[in-house]
Amino acid sequence: MSDIPADFETARAEAEELAERIERYRTTYYAEGVSLVSDAEYDVLFHRLEALEREFPELAGQDSPTQQVGAALVSAGFPPHEHAERMLSLDNVFTLDEFAEWAAKAQAAAGRPVRWLSELKIDGLAISLAYRDGVLETATTRGDGRVGENITENVDFIPAIPRRLEGEGYPSFFEVRGEVFLRSEDFEALNARQHALQAEFAAEQRARGRADDAIPTRFPEFANARNTAAGSLRQRRENKSPQALELMRERLGRLSLYLHGIGAWDNPPVSSQSEVYSLLAGWGLPVSPHARVFDSIDEVTAFIAHHGEHRHDVEHEIDGIVVKVDELALHAELGATSRAPRWAIAYKYPPEEVHTKLLDIRVAI
Ligand code: NAD
């Protein structure tokens, strides 16, 4: 990855080609929930583009995918909704050395002891929920970070998203951000249902005299939990047959939610993000039971190692660990780039299934 071309023109040609490929993969991924390449392959291309832009900063124009969140809105038909506060992505690191470098920089910029909130990186899709006077006002996908899809009409079918807050003391208006995902057991149950439906359909077709090899796949197996969650959330109710509506209800009913951040919220009455989670839990909002706060980087590194070894012991897919500076005042002090906050980082685990392929790509570029 260090073989950056010495001359600008060669670097520009490579950066343009990378940006074009990444753009195509992103659009398909966010708009259609389809992965044309594995996440690991995508990350390698993205990282390479970042490296070229670090060497030649004039390549990092506003249009570069490295400067953007998600992809421009290609709506499945939902109305657009502007977030009261921008939703950002996260910068990634892939080695413990890169992580230590990031933490040292954040620590130095903070200028005072930092406590590290360490969380599982849930492999789902980001959502923003706005509550007014304790009642859900909008549920919106991230979109390009400024404008997302208003999917509130689907919340009727998603019991994981609370319509009303419990308790008291919540602000009159605030936004919370989180991840919608499928627990592994729910993903398996949905696939079992697809198999059963396909078997039923095939039996019906056979009874009508159709040969086995001429029976189409009407209920295909879902490829992965993340894309299935994304596809489920962005279904429209309109023009659905009663059977399709019932399936939609079943898929949305299996979605889970953990909140992991805040958007617009004037003066939260606590000083750290971990305390925000306690407040949210008190109002009946779901937060992950796996988050921990540590005083030292060594403890964070141990947390990363532990979950790397026990990746499948939690209830959902994870693709890394998110480490955040816990103190809210430091979030404002450290700020953000156009794409990601400087007070948080995602440590991504090496991919399990495409390891060889990834290594090939790393060697190839
Ligand atoms: P990201 O997935 O690397 O990280 C940012 C997101 O992580 C946040 O927006 C948030 O929704 C989520 N997240 C999960 N757990 C969290 C937690 N505990 N705290 C905070 N945030 C948490 O970035 P992204 O911008 O959403 O997407 C980029 C990634 O998506 C790529 O790295 C790649 O893995 C994947 N992708 C794949 C393809 C493909 O074709 N395969 C295309 C585009 C993107």
Residue closest via CA to ligand 1's atom 20 equals: 260
pLDDT for position 63: 87
Task: Please state which of the ranges 83-92, 216-225, 349-358 shows the lowest mean pLDDT.
Answer: 349-358
Q: Which atom of ligand 1 is nearest to the CA of 70?
A: 25
Which residues are catalytic, by number? 121
Inter-residue contact 51 to 117 (CB < 8 Å): no
Residue closest via CA to ligand 1's atom 32 equals: 43
Residue closest via CA to ligand 1's atom 3 equals: 90
Residue closest via CA to ligand 1's atom 11 equals: 126
294: CA distance to ligand 1 center in Å? 24
User: Over 50: is that where the pLDDT of 229 sits?
Assistant: yes
Q: What is the pLDDT of residues 307-341, one digit of tens each?
A: 999 999 999 999 999 999 999 999 999 999 999 99
pLDDT for position 88: 97
Q: Which atom of ligand 1 is nearest to the CA of 177?
A: 11
User: Over 70: is that where the pLDDT of 1 sits?
Assistant: no
- Which residues, judged by CB distance below 6 Å to any ligand atom, belong to the binding site of ligand 1? 25-26, 29, 35-39, 42-43, 70, 89-90, 92, 119, 121-122, 126, 179, 260-261, 322, 346
The two three-digit tokens of residue 98, written as one number: 């890169």
180: CA distance to ligand 1 center in Å? 12
Inter-residue contact 72 to 65 (CB < 8 Å): no
3-state secondary structure the chain: CCCCCCCHHHHHHHHHHHHHHHHHHHHHHHHHCCCCCCHHHHHHHHHHHHHHHHHCHHHCCCCCHHHCCCCCCCCCCCCEEECCCCCCCCCEECCHHHHHHHHHHHHHHHCCCCCEEEEEEECCEEEEEEEECCEEEEEEECCCCCEEEECHHHHHHCCCCCCECCCCCCCCEEEEEEEEEEEHHHHHHHHHHHHHHHHHHHHHHHHCCCCHHHCCCCCCCCCCHHHHHHHHHCCCCCCCCHHHHHHHHHHHHCEEEEEEEECCCCCCCCCEHHHHHHHHHHCCCCECCCCEEECCHHHHHHHHHHHHHCHHHCCECEEEEEEEECEHHHHHHHCECCCCECCEEEEECCCCCCHHHHHHHHHHC
Q: Which atom of ligand 1 is nearest to the CA of 121?
A: 15
- Interacting residues of 313 by C-beta distance below 8 A, sequence separation 6+: none
Please state the rounded mean pLDDT for residues 217-239: 92
82: CA distance to ligand 1 center in Å? 20
Please state the rounded mean pLDDT for residues 8-12: 95
User: Over 50: is that where the pLDDT of 361 sits?
Assistant: no
Q: Which atom of ligand 1 is nearest to the CA of 125?
A: 11
Question: Comparing 251 with 73, which gets the higher pLDDT?
Answer: 251
CA distance 328 to 11: 39
Residue in 27, 90, 180 to alter for ligand 1 test, most ligand atoms within 8 A of Cβ? 90
213: CA distance to ligand 1 center in Å? 39
CA distance 195 to 201: 10
162: CA distance to ligand 1 center in Å? 24
User: Over 80: is that where the pLDDT of 300 sits?
Assistant: yes
User: Over 60: is that where the pLDDT of 69 sits?
Assistant: yes
User: Over 60: is that where the pLDDT of 354 sits?
Assistant: no
User: Over 60: is that where the pLDDT of 359 sits?
Assistant: no
